[in-house]
Chains A and B, each alone.
Chain A
Amino acid sequence: MAEKKELDRRLGIKGWALGGRWGFERYLYTLHRITGLGLVTYFLLHILVTSTRAFGGRAIWDPLMGTLGSGFFKAGEFLVFAGFAIHGLNGIRLILIELGIATGKAIEPEYPYPTSVGNQRPLAITVSILAAVLIVLGAYNIFIAH
């Protein structure tokens, strides 16, 4: 028998965002991952940076914070805050969904079929608005008030 020759069509990592016309929640899946990876990368560096105050005292802390308070790092600080707002609030949404609280129970499907995606959509919109409000407050605090 001839060997079966097939074409691999797994979308790969680009399939988190590309490869099709997807719904809002699927992009939230990707955004949750990107913000999570961004936050953990920052956090690992943050542990090392903030520990200098214990081991080096004010002599190291003041010039270090002077450098990190400049424009480029301020933009980074804002991105971290925005990542926190999105990841934290969307995380709460995911917990409510994954415990079956925000999805609803089984129904008799009648065309056009309503889905759990519609059930949790108000929650998705609410956390998106709250995240946007937090991001605006953070931007004001980081770029204007300081």
Chain B
Amino acid sequence: MSDTSFRNIPFTVFRYNPQTDATPHVETYTVKVQSGMTVLDGLHQIKSDHDASLSWRYSCRMGVCGSCGMLINGRAMLACNTQILDVSTIAIAVAPLPNFPVIRDLVPDLESMFVRHKEIKPWIIRKDESESDRLDREYSQSPEQLEAYLQFSYCIKCGCCMAACPTMATDAEYLGPQPLAQAYRYEADSRDQGFEERKPILDKDSGLFSCHYGSECSVVCPKGVDPAKAIQLMKRQMVLDLIGLRRKKCSGLHHG
């Protein structure tokens, strides 16, 4: 039988309203917690029972949209994916993802991540652009070729990795784990021919090699994307290219 009993757990929540607050503060609310409740459920309870002004971002409630990333007891997680009693039976502390500016309460501004993600050209680049007009053809890909990048394509852009990264903590210009991992997602794709286009972006100051394997990005990733792994594999390609040993076999167009 499942445990249906309730227990009161204090939620210490980061509060900041740019229109009224000069500095942020924390407020503590008592949440009636039942087994199976997520941190997102707890926040809803606070909003309905204690303070309707509490703000956070969420949408899907099932770990797919990547909206509700926040710092829960010191670790970047999705509120919808995290059960309260798995984190603590004593106390919960909720704050917005660090390393991003805060719009209000638990709502981070993720724009800087989206800008950098776009900067690394996250799409399949072909040398012959006219190929996209040949709709009767397709790129074949073996299961092994698919597996080379599939793991990294599950990124939902929640920003948890960026919040956990120690280089992001100090370097305002650093590309960050999310965009860098996506650069490798395309590099590992047998259909992509964009290495030369992405190379100068990755090789700039505060680029790929500003990652020093703090590895926390992979620890916190809620989708198992393992950005730290992707980044190191991208580094390997850059080093092989530097010493003239990089080889990549790209798929060609085939009749569909």
Contacts and interface: CB of A to CB of B under 8 A. Distances in A.
- The answer to whether A and B touch in the complex, with CB atoms under 8 Å apart, is yes
Contacts, number: 151
Interface of B: 16, 18-19, 24, 71, 73-76, 96-103, 108-109, 147-152, 154, 164, 166, 168-170, 172, 188, 212-216, 218-219, 221, 223-226, 228-230, 232-233, 235-236, 239
Contacts of B73: 21
A143 B50 CA distance: 61
Identify whether the interface residues of A are mostly helix, strand, loop, or mixed: loop
Contacts of B233: 100, 103, 105-106
A107 B232 CA distance: 15
A121 B228 CA distance: 14
Binding site secondary structure of chain B: mixed
A26 B96 contact: no
Given A25-B216, A99-B236, A116 B147 contact: no
Interface of A: 5-13, 15-16, 19-23, 25-26, 29-30, 32, 94, 97-100, 103-111, 113-117, 119-120
Interface centre among A22, A29, A106 (most CB of B within 10 A): A106
A15 B224 contact: no
A6 B102 contact: yes
A15 B169 CA distance: 6
Given A6-B109, A108-B147, A113-B221, A94 B18 contact: no
Given A106-B149, A116-B229, A116-B232, A16 B215 contact: no
B224 A94 contact: no
A29 to B, nearest CB: 4
A26 B99 contact: no
Contact of B150 (A5, A29, A104, A106): A106
B71 A20 contact: yes
A9 B108 contact: yes
B78 to A, nearest CB: 13
Nearest to B164: A20
A26 B169 contact: no
Given A9-B98, A108-B147, A115-B218, A100 B236 contact: yes
Given A22-B164, A26-B215, A113-B226, 7 more contacts: A11-B99, A22-B216, A23-B216, A25-B215, A29-B215, A94-B212, A115-B221
B18 A116 contact: no
